[in-house]
Structure 1
Amino acid sequence: MTAAPFNDRARVDAYDKVRGVTQYAADIQFPRMLYAMTVPSRVAKGRMTAIVTDAAMQVPGVVRILTPADFPPPPEPTGEDGPPPPPPTLEMEIAYRGQPIALVLAETLEAAVQGAEAIRQRFADAPFSSVIDSEGSKREPVEDWVAGNAEQAMAGAVTTIEASYESPTQHHNPIELLTTTAVWADGRLTIYECSQGVNVTKGSVAAALRLDPAIVDVKSAYIGGGFGQKGLAQRQTALVAQAAILTGRPVKLVSPRGQIFHVATYRPNSRHKVQIGVDVNGKMIAANYHAEHEQSRTGFFSPAEYHESPIRMYGIENYRGTAANIRIDRQAPGYMRAPHPQASCFAFESAVDELAHKLGRDPVAFRIENDTQIDHKTGNPLSSRFLNECLIEGARRFGWERRSAMPGSMKADDGTQIGWGVAAGCYPSMMPPAIATLRINANGSTRFATSGHEMGQGIRTAIAAILVEGLDISTDKLEVVIGDTTAAPQHMTAGSWGTAGAIPATAKAVERMRAAVAELLEGRQIAGNLHQQLASVRRPFLQVEVSEVGPGQNADAIAALRQGGFVVAGPEYPDFTTMSYIAHFVEVRIEPRTRRIRMPRVVSIADCGRVISPRTAESQIRGGVVWAFSAALREATEIDPRFGGYLNNDLADYVVAVNADIGEIDVGFVDKPDLLANSVGLKGLGEVAMVGASAAIANAVFHATGKRLRELPIRIEHLL
């Protein structure tokens, strides 16, 4: 493979998507299918003492109602680190409001909904704590992140800044609702689900229902948005699977959005206290950073990871990061795009901006002068870091030299306040093992199967780019099979490691196929593409299988992948650390009377190693910037502390960014391969695209108004 930049190619699945041909999980249909609806708990904590189903069973079309009596008890916790045991099915004990207590099965969706509404439930209530400040919440410190001696270095600092920041509870809200269709036939269970981790789903359902994983298949060809919500196993999956087994009929559940708010993971409310010190030369020499967030009583989403990006942003040799869970009685939070860095870099990059202002320094120059090539947490070098190149190119495109430094000094003729803000971001670049099978047929078709899931980020397009660049094959009959446990062992696609898993394996398969073709032809020069060459030598197909692992991994990682294990390498590799970087430049305009904030333009430049699919990479950054605007100025989940439930659990009341909010987003890439990270030289992009952009917006609001706002979302009332 050459090191030349990849050509811009259209999405390989775009034509089918715009025509409505693409089938998502909820589109799957089977004869005799039953429709399911879950019944949520109406209390936040306690024990269900009775469930009355008589009236529900009288609803025409209702076939069966599953209760906790229809399920085995949940597995005991293992006590091991990592993801929790498989989610429980139906239980009498209630841990949070909205927890499913029953599943209604009916011939029609309408009957299932009516039956669910007819069920009556009785509980022995228990006291609960529903928000981070509730009485009864429990603080639980976690392990510190330490580099150098921050206390000693801070004592010698010439100038310091210290401030507290807060990010709200937020929910993912992908357009595609959580969907499960289960089929039990011939002693096998097949699950069609919108999942970023079909192997995780397979193992979790098998464990929850006491099944042999070998008889469970999970398929997730396309996902209508995931963003982390669909990474771990959903509670509903085992419910629907058990329903299919007990009835012998296919069963489908499409969860209502209001229920999804209450049962799926979300971004937790988090609080951040940041202190940074500089020496006489304006170099940042020390940082103390404490982060804490709301957490369920048994959740595992670690607050320690808020430090994973800030500790690697600049050359701060002395860093002390502390963190804590605040355990309350709601469902567990979890991964949501840029899970920890969205909040941590909002806090840290706001603090850096405050420090630059206090020092009278230009915030771009201040960041550039605090560059590093070392990961001070490990002492190892960074495999590549081109953040300064991102800042320099972003400033050039944005016209940063025209910025007036004084806050509140830039105004339009009508009095509109203009603010220019900058912030940077970084995100770990990781790599999972992958197994891939490439088959080229004489009939003109090609089939490539590997680990990965398509959430709209364009992984199929990136795979196709490698195949088409390296092999002379027909593109109109190219099939890329991912998200299918029957086609290849599957790792979870999350954390921006999907492409890093699939693409090096694809490149290896291309090289292996080229060698296989050369061996087959034995030096003969045969006209035509590979399909025609196979037909000429009367070979119906040629197939190769390859595997690839991350730096520092070996054959054990492949073995673990085959067994359904969760094996991801990085960002701390044996001899280096790999991070992706980005710089965002934002202009905001604030109307003088209404105080409405608009964002007419953004420039975002990313260091993500080699760019495999320029079109989908640009789309990832634009999507990340739009979401960062939404997170900074719109989104917050409202919790009713009296009942432990969510008040704005629909798209009418959960406010998100719309087209009118967003102006021009100019995207650029450094596009320098990182060949330490993997054989192709790519680094993760999907997550880092969002990191730092909310801070850039907040910094621009400060520049426009002179008012420093440290709590998201920033709304009109904060500027009145």
Structure 2
Amino acid sequence: MPSQVFPEIARVDARDKVLGQALYGADINLPGMLYAMLVPATIAKGRVGELDVRRATETAGVVQVLSIGDFPTLRPEISFLGQPIALVVAETIEAAIEGAEAVTAVYEASPFVALMSSPGAHRVPAEGFSTGDVESAFQNAATIVEGTFETPTQHHNPMELFGTVAEWSGGRLTVYEGCQNVDAVKGALAKALNLSPDAVAVKSEHVGGGFGQKSPPKIQTALVAQAARLTRRPVKLVAPRGQVFHIANYRPRSIHNMRLAANAAGRLDAISYDVVQENIPDGGFRSTGYHEDIARLYAIENFRATAADVHIDRQMPRHTRGTHPFPAGFALESLIDEMAHKLGKDPVQFRLDHQAKKDIIAGQPLSPHFLNDCLTEGAKRFGWSKRVPEPGSMRLDDGTLVGFGVACGIFGASMSASEATLRVRANGTTRMISSGHEMGQGMLTAIANVITQGLDINPDRLEIQLGDTTRGPQIATVGERGTASCIPVALKAVHALRAKFEELAGSNPPAGNLHEQLARLKRPYIEVTATELAPGQDPSALKAFRSGGRAGAGPDYPGFTSMSYIAQFVEIHIDPMTRRIRMPRAVSIADIGRVVSPRTAKGQMYGGVVWGFSTALREETEVDPRFAGYLNDDLADYVIAVNADIGNIDVGLIDQPDPRINSVGVKGMGELVMLGTAPAIANAIYHATGKRIRKLPIRIEDVL
């Protein structure tokens, strides 16, 4: 049975972070360390003809310039602007930068496609999905709404840049860097440098934000490792943000054509959905993923989706927080609102009336969920009953237009095979070696809450080790599977240790907490190792996990599908003269199963609303079609939400376990928290102005 309600505890990593004692990848300083800087290609496509490094090698402080031929991963063929063509290694960062700027290249340039609209761009179809009889549903529909929705190219901008430190010792490589998947980095390094995996260690104790950007292995990691091998000294590289924009993954621009049909009874009956996105050939971000979550959001039996890529010549787009459901949900939730208005129905009640109980993709039941509770609780907290339905009818005394908006979000609840080792010592300390990555989302605090609620130990002397391949295999902390994977195995370890102690102590255990009891029993420590599988997995998944293979599962498990849900309510104010858009308040209510760390879960939700506002009204990466590069590649020009943009945010959690997904009943929330905010804002703007805006980000000129 799922566990009891968990109390709120303080963040266990807060003190170290406030005091600057939490170590990130670039914080590592080693004796004799050198500093590196990348040299980026200045064309979008073609080939390096000649590379002149003479002036760079003559720069004071430069130790070595490594280029094509020195690295197995550096090649003369250029696929995107900013692709590394050389690495300058120096005694100081200043010398490395000066040396990198002195490297020149002669290129053989080729024609390139910068944008989906550029000459030469063409649509490449991808696999679609269809269920039910969509054609008949639209032919017999009483009401149809449709639209074309656009979401822009956007970049993740976590505070921590791409920092890598590499050190060799006795033929073994150790890399320190912030990432979300150290096992994948270890495997990529072993392959690129022709090493045994046992000769590679990757450590990522803390990550200063990831949001999907730090999931795949970075281009720079193998280069820094090779530089350290050739120079026989530790090497550090921190890529400037402008370079990160060009070498890191990003959210691709996408265009969504969607039609929604309702029958004579006012019930939603069918969706026809076509999506196209920018991508590179054989890119890792599937256009087929856009329909997979939203098809499970409401009870709509007839669903047809088609998908395609438009190939461009930039770096690979990949997962960004909210991944596919963010842009797909912007389209769907905007049309749901439009349909409700057209039918004369309340947008909240309209969603309540379409509660989904079946997964139409996997053809099986949805696990019990509480989206309707999210909507009901959110409407109550927000004061939705005060909404006057007619667009443009609500104003403040000074003429400010007021709009209320609502939208929902959904994301698959995934898990992974996992393992944890728990040791309690008689000296008063406890150590948990587990799997995953602490990116600020609160995984350390969630694990600590499970341990301290289940064992009578000293909470201030608890050490939790994550993100270190020398401690054991590590799950990829992506796709909402982090907490859902590490928490059940942590609870299992707690139960195993308690049982082992009871067997040791017998029917008359000594007094004191667990440390004191061990001391009185003259046992220096007690230790257990626990493993956990996702529903439907067999031991082969655990074997894959231990060898760095794919060990994830879900959200469709044998016999059921599990999803996480959220409902977003926003109030929007629009100045009657300047048309400036403000969000004075928002309410966000989520169903993530059992809440293991209430404080950090709420923190994620606050951040999700802020990022949702930012994606809706601020963020767009400007691509220069002349060079296929990014114009606003810094935090001065890439506009994001700031404190002055954000009003009061009220968040809440339903805290009802999913009894089928795991022993704790916990589901993920990292991707979920920003979903629904953008369409809720767009719907509120419609309520305030009567204008339907279908392109993000929404600008002042859109509401003039």
1:237 aligns with 2:221: yes
Pairing 1:510-521 to 2, within 5 Å after superposition: 510-521=494-505
2:2/2:663 contact within 8 Å kept: no
User: Counterpart of 1:35?
Assistant: 35
Structure 2: distance between partners of 1:154 and 1:457: 43
Structure 2: distance between partners of 1:155 and 1:572: 32
* Identity over aligned pairs, percent: 55
Give 1:108's aligned amino acid: T
Structure 1: distance between partners of 2:228 and 2:281: 31
Give 2:413's aligned amino acid: S
User: Counterpart of 1:714?
Assistant: 698
User: Counterpart of 2:26?
Assistant: 26
Aligned-pair distance for 1:151?
A: 1.8
2:2/2:659 contact within 8 Å kept: no
Structure 2: distance between partners of 1:488 and 1:700: 49
1:136/1:328 contact within 8 Å kept: no
Structure 2: distance between partners of 1:162 and 1:181: 51
- Given the alignment, which residue of 496, 520, 544 partners 2:480? 496
1:317 aligns with 2:293: no
Aligned-pair distance for 1:371?
A: 1.1
1:346 aligns with 2:330: yes
Aligned-pair distance for 1:698?
A: 0.6
1:256-277 CA deviation, whole Å, 9 max, x = no partner?
0000000100000000011010
User: Counterpart of 1:85?
Assistant: none
Structure 2: distance between partners of 1:491 and 1:714: 37
Pairing 1:87-236 to 2, within 5 Å after superposition: 89-236=73-220
User: Counterpart of 2:444?
Assistant: 460
Aligned-pair distance for 1:59?
A: 0.5
- How many residues are treated as equivalent by the alignment? 704
Structure 1: distance between partners of 2:335 and 2:33: 56
1:509 aligns with 2:493: yes
Q: Secondary structure at the match of 2:541?
A: helix
User: Counterpart of 2:248?
Assistant: 264
Give 1:139's aligned amino acid: R
User: Counterpart of 2:62?
Assistant: 62
Any unmatched runs of 5+ in structure 2? none
1:583 aligns with 2:573: no
1:469 aligns with 2:453: yes
Q: Secondary structure at the match of 2:295?
A: helix
1:44-80 CA deviation, whole Å, 9 max, x = no partner?
00000010000000001100111110123xxxxxxxx
User: Counterpart of 1:86?
Assistant: none
1:183/1:249 contact within 8 Å kept: yes
Structure 2: distance between partners of 1:150 and 1:248: 64
User: Counterpart of 2:403?
Assistant: 419
Aligned-pair distance for 1:22?
A: 0.8
1:209-249 CA deviation, whole Å, 9 max, x = no partner?
21111100000000011000000100000000111111111
1:136-184 CA deviation, whole Å, 9 max, x = no partner?
2232111112222212222221111110100000000111001110001
Q: Secondary structure at the match of 1:123?
A: strand
Structure 2: distance between partners of 1:213 and 1:41: 31
Q: Secondary structure at the match of 1:245?
A: helix
User: Counterpart of 1:329?
Assistant: 313
Q: Secondary structure at the match of 2:634?
A: coil
1:662-683 CA deviation, whole Å, 9 max, x = no partner?
0111111111110101110011
Structure 2: distance between partners of 1:146 and 1:429: 23
Pairing 1:673-684 to 2, within 5 Å after superposition: 673-684=657-668
Structure 1: distance between partners of 2:257 and 2:221: 39
Structure 2: distance between partners of 1:377 and 1:371: 16
User: Counterpart of 2:375?
Assistant: 391
2:176/2:204 contact within 8 Å kept: yes
Give 1:131's aligned amino acid: L
Give 1:509's aligned amino acid: A
Aligned-pair distance for 1:3?
A: 3.9
Structure 1: distance between partners of 2:275 and 2:205: 37
Aligned-pair distance for 1:2?
A: 7.2
Any unmatched runs of 5+ in structure 1? 73-88
2:443/2:483 contact within 8 Å kept: yes
Give 1:589's aligned amino acid: H
Give 1:52's aligned amino acid: D
Aligned-pair distance for 1:497?
A: 0.7
Structure 2: distance between partners of 1:303 and 1:136: 20
1:336–1:2 CA distance, 2 compared to 1 (3 A): closer
Give 2:220's aligned amino acid: Q
User: Counterpart of 1:75?
Assistant: none
Aligned-pair distance for 1:524?
A: 2.3
User: Counterpart of 2:637?
Assistant: 653
Aligned-pair distance for 1:477?
A: 1.1
RMSD of equivalent CA atoms = 0.9
Aligned-pair distance for 1:434?
A: 0.6
1:138/1:328 contact within 8 Å kept: no
1:417-458 CA deviation, whole Å, 9 max, x = no partner?
000000011000000111100011111111101111000000
1:367 aligns with 2:351: yes
User: Counterpart of 2:386?
Assistant: 402
1:318–1:481 CA distance, 2 compared to 1 (3 A): same
